[in-house]
Amino acid sequence: MERDLDLSFPPAHGATLSDDDAPSTWTPPTRPTKYGIRTSPRTRQLLGSRSAAAAAGVWRHRPAHEPQSIPRPAPPGRALAGQAGTELLPPSHWARSTLTVAGFDVHLRAYDGVVDEIGEASVRRFGPVMAVASANLDHVYHFGRGGLAAPRAMSDTGVLTWLTLLDGIPIVAVVRGRTGVRWPRLAGADLLVPVLARAEQDGIRVGFLGGQETMHVELRRVVARDFPQLVVSGYWAPDPSEVDDRARSDELAEQVRHSRTDLLVVGLGKPRQEVWIQEHGEQTGARVLLAFGASADFLAGQVKRAPAVFRETGMEWAYRLAMEPRRLAHRYLVDGPVALSRLVR
**Mean pLDDT, rounded, for 78-96:** 49
CA distance to 29, 39, 48, 270, per residue, from 45 (Å): 11, 9, 5, 33
- The whole-chain average pLDDT of the chain stands at 78
Q: Is the dihedral of CA 302, 106, 163, 154 positive or negative?
A: negative
pLDDT at 342: 87
pLDDT at 163: 96
The C-alpha atoms of residue 195 and residue 220 are separated, in whole angstroms, by: 16
Give the contacts of 285 (CB within 8 A, at least 6 positions apart).
Answer: 256, 257, 260, 261
**Mean pLDDT, rounded, for 250-265:** 98
Task: Give the confidence band of 90 by pLDDT, cuts at 50, 70, 90.
Answer: low
Hey, where are the domains in the chain?
96-300
Q: Is the pLDDT assigned to residue 94 strictly greater than 80? A: no
Give the contacts of 326 (CB within 8 A, at least 6 positions apart).
Answer: none
Of 37-46, 67-76, 80-89, 249-258, highest mean pLDDT: 249-258
- Do residues 132 and 118 touch, judged by C-beta distance below 8 A? yes
pLDDT at 269: 92
Q: Which of 175, 152, 167 is nearest to 279 (CA)?
A: 152
pLDDT at 5: 43
**Mean pLDDT, rounded, for 113-130:** 94
CATH topology of domain 96-300: Rossmann fold (3.40.50)
Beta strand residue intervals within the chain, DSSP E = 2-3, 25-26, 70-71, 96-101, 104-109, 129-135, 160-166, 205-209, 231-236, 263-266, 288-291
Output phi, psi for 115, to 5 deg: -65, -45
Q: Is the pLDDT assigned to residue 10 strictly greater than 90? A: no
Portion of the chain with pLDDT greater than 70, in percent: 72
